[in-house]
Amino acid sequence: MKIAIASDHAGFQLKEQIKKYLIEKGYPVEDFGTDSENSVDYPDFAKKVCKEILSGNFERGILFCGSGVGMSISANRFRGIRAVLCQDLYTAEYSRLHNDCNVLCLPGRIIGKGVAEKIVEIWLKTPFEGGRHKRRIEKIDEL
């Protein structure tokens, strides 16, 4: 599974920590920026990752900003992207089981490395259940 990641300045530190974690776990990862804590605009980085997923170059994406809200709003503007803002293990699991989320948004100023690693692990390993949930996702796509 190829993973695209990106952050703004507020999510930069957590992105770097999770990138290292993903590489250690053997995931192919491509970092679409930012490369420092200098102020940038999060929609620019959400756009890069979402376009890569929609083009089929990557199966999943992980976005980081201060609260996770800006990245999740930006990512969910793209038809075919189902982004979840996640701060807990339950949401990580059920965003995959029931919603087939393909983008995970993490808040760099709210959760630490340990929680973030557990969220990422669960989110990457949890399959989509399909069934009635697939029908619901199709209805979302029609909106």
Options 50, 65, 86, 105, the catalytic residue: 65
Q: How far apart are CA 40 and CA 78, in angstroms?
A: 20
Given a contact cutoff of 8 angstroms between Cβ atoms, the answer to whether 17 and 69 are in contact is no
Decide: helix, strand or coil at residue 31. Answer: strand
Task: Check whether 36 has a pLDDT greater than 90.
Answer: yes
Residue 97 pairs in a beta bridge with: none
- Enter the pTM of the model: 0.97
Catalytic residue at 133?
Answer: no
Options 9, 50, 98, 105, the catalytic residue: 98
Residue 143: pLDDT band (50, 70, 90) is confident
State which amino acid sits at residue 66: G
CA-CA-CA-CA torsion sign (135, 137, 142, 143): positive
Q: Go through the domains of the chain in sequence order and give each one's CATH number.
A: 3-142 (3.40.1400.10)
